[in-house]
Amino acid sequence: MSMSRRDFLKGAGTGAVVATAVGVDTAPVEGAARELKTKGAREVPSLCYYCAVGCGIVASVADGKVVAIQGDPEHPINRGALCSKAQAYIQVLDHPKRLTKVLYRPPGATEWQEKPLDWAMDQIAQRIKATRDATFRETEDGVTVNRAEGIAALGSAVITNEECYLLAKAMRGLGVVWLEHQARV
Ligand code: SF4
């Protein structure tokens, strides 16, 4: 029996590999399984951007939506495997509870308010400037340090490596020294 690594991993989920090896006709089983999610879907190779490992994924796309995500068995880094974060990747793209609007809860309030994105950006910029102005330390024990000690930055695992790089650059430019990443918390 000739079978590629990719065919093997595809079939493993349904037990089709074992069944085929012992001479059982697996076509009906494979057909039913595929219909669950990926019938008629187009397979698009891509990358998981959650961390710097850079695992390969295959996204199944139907009617313009990603309907399933699996590890790319032909990718040299992960060889078909995905960690738990990437297993839940599809929820980032399409989940009924995904937030698509800015929500703001003023100090002391119990309810969230919808706000325009431009308003939120202005608020963030104003508050960063006010905090930096109020807490910036230029020297310590006679040594120039130029630290914005009242601000900390926490990188997220759902921003890309490039975004992490830009975030770190921006924070260093402001004098922020408390830089962390979700993956280390
Ligand atoms: S988050 Fe997981 S699947 Fe994604 S690149 Fe990192 S190790 Fe790979």
The verdict on the CB of residue 69 being under 6 Å from ligand 1 is no
pTM above 0.75, yes or no: no
DSSP string, 59-91: EEEETTEEEEEEE-TT-TTTTT---HHHHTHHH
Ligand 1 nearest atom to the CA of residue 83, by list position: 2
Over its length of 185 residues, how does the chain's per-residue pLDDT go in tens digits?
Answer: 566 666 665 555 445 455 555 566 767 666 665 566 677 889 999 988 777 788 999 999 998 888 899 999 999 999 999 998 888 888 877 788 888 899 999 999 999 999 999 999 999 999 999 999 999 999 999 999 999 999 999 887 777 778 888 999 999 999 999 998 877 76
| Cα(130)–Cα(179) distance, integer angstroms | 19
The amino acid occupying position 91 is Q
Dihedral sign computed on CA atoms, order 16, 20, 21, 24? positive
* pLDDT for the residue numbered 118: 97
The verdict on the CB of residue 164 being under 6 Å from ligand 1 is no
In the chain, domain spans: 1-37, 40-96, 102-184
Q: Which residue has the tokens 């930055």?
A: 153
Which of 55, 87, 182 has the most ligand 1 atoms within 8 A of CB, as the residue to mutate?
Answer: 55
Pairing mode, if any, of strands 56-62 and 42-47? antiparallel
* pLDDT for the residue numbered 6: 61
Ligand 1 nearest atom to the CA of residue 77, by list position: 8
Give the closest residue (by CA) to ligand 1 atom 1.
50
Structure tokens at 162: 């490039």
* pLDDT for the residue numbered 168: 92
Q: Among 3.30.70.2860, 3.30.365.10, 3.40.50.720, 3.30.200.210, name the CATH number for the domain at 40-96.
A: 3.30.200.210
| Cα(151)–Cα(170) distance, integer angstroms | 12
